Amino acid sequence: MSYTTKLNVPGHGELAVPTGLFINNEWVAPSGGETFSCVNPATGEKLADVAHASKEDVDKAVKAARHAFKTVWGTKVAATVRQTALLKYADLIERDAEKIAALESLNSGKGIRIARDADIADSVACLRYYAGIADKVFGQTIDSFGEEKFCYTLHQPIGVCGQIIPWNYPSLMFFWKVAPALAAGCTIVMKPSELTPLTAGVFCDLAIEAGFPPGVLNLVQGLGATTGDAISRHLDIDKVAFTGSVATGRRISIAAAESNLKKVTLELGGKSPLLVFDSSDIEEAADWTALGIYFNSGQDCCASSRVYVQESIYEKYLAALKKRAEACAIGLPSDEKTSFGPLISAGQRDKVINYIESGRSEGARVVTGGQKWPQSNGGFFVEPTILADVTPNMKVVQEEIFGPVVVVAPFKDEADALELANNTTFGLAAAVFTNDTRQATRVSAALDAGTVWVNQAALLHAGVPFGGFKQSGIGRELGTYGLEAYTQVKAVHNNLTQTMPWPI
């Protein structure tokens, strides 16, 4: 097969996009010759055929990564070498941001403005953040034994890491995984989502230009049941990092345990509550709620998808949120004005529509939206939707919809709000809107969530840890915690004068 596909990318004409497997800094064909197709979610039309990595291909990538870890990366090079390469990588992504964003928009359905100014810009920021702390990994000295011995700890890279990322943020999730792993000294076998594999290939080409040695970063596209499973079960992968659904996260945990008990970090689903107290600014709360649920067309694990509003301001808040929902800039991803594009696939669109119908049938009030966008023209668009007057046992309240659907209900007081908010198997994020600072502090501490926003929603930062409570995951990404997830601690006991304490 050819290792590239020529695509007509809006604003950039015809571009050659890598579609092969990237192993040891070379583009290669899949061993079995198999491919899979990805489509344009704005039109439903096929974009490209992409190499499908087999178990044998994964094994080749792992061998390349292991060799690189032992010989040219890991503890074999100074942290400043990794730092320099990461900074160059960030510069190259920034240089090509317009082209990468256009390809991201085409493959994922994001508005071009969002892809460029949010996803690609944040990817560059993530690389630079981890470049900045690559040479600042410190252990401890434990000098409490007098003249007997001296002990210290080393924080060393875990080794070869399998990384499996989702389709909702193809570029950003790539660098959330790759940046801390490379900064720590790990080598990588990366599997992007089969729905959005195209930008990952561009990033591999730029990795060569940035100076990463062969084998440090390898790309194996494919389906989760084949390529993903091969990564999770491989006996020479030391850690697997996954972002996606709870169901898939469970399967990866089982595969990791049944193989070599590899380390696992999981960033899984969410059903994040947003609480609006009567002391808050209603218009401000509605603005942030709209961002929290309609950004990326609701395809966000920490989307503010459950909203609880104090009874006295409930209808006023709903009216304000309705205005925001109906003002969303829906359109083709290539349009600079578009902020709300299609869902990723026909299956995802239909799943979201079925959830809306479920809410209707169980008694929820459709305030606005609730159907396919009339101007879809073959694309996978769903209108921004508000379901009001929901009750705790409704399917739309308990399950993650992963689309532009927010469910809203009233609450009586603070205790009632917390009971409703924490009544979920998820615990990824939450938001609180109140102008009572003592209440904000109390409620933030009481919410079962890995991230809590106060008087804002949705915004993350490379320097702040992100991850979930309950079934929303294991471990943390971003910040110094994200770097720690790719290191392991070694304790060294250095004998100074101590003799054997007892004979053997």
Element holding 149 (H helix, E strand): strand 149-157
Alpha-carbon span 476 to 465, nearest angstrom: 6
Sequence-separated (6 or more) residues with CB below 8 Å from residue 339: 111, 113, 114, 295, 328, 329
Q: Backbone phi, then psi, for 66, in 5-degree steps?
A: -65, -45
Q: Which of 14, 94, 104, 267 is catalytic?
A: 267
Here the tokens at position 187 are 């080598």
Q: Contact at 8 Å (CB) between 319 and 283?
A: no
Here the tokens at position 210 are 């940035």
Alpha-carbon span 126 to 172, nearest angstrom: 8
CA distances in angstroms from 104 to 17, 113, 462, listed in the order given? 12, 11, 20
For this structure, is 484 an active site residue?
A: no
Cα dihedral across residues 68, 73, 77, 81: positive or negative: positive
Alpha-carbon span 453 to 187, nearest angstrom: 34
The DSSP code sequence of 63-92 is HHHHHHHHHTSGGGS-HHHHHHHHHHHHHH
Q: Which residues are catalytic?
A: 267
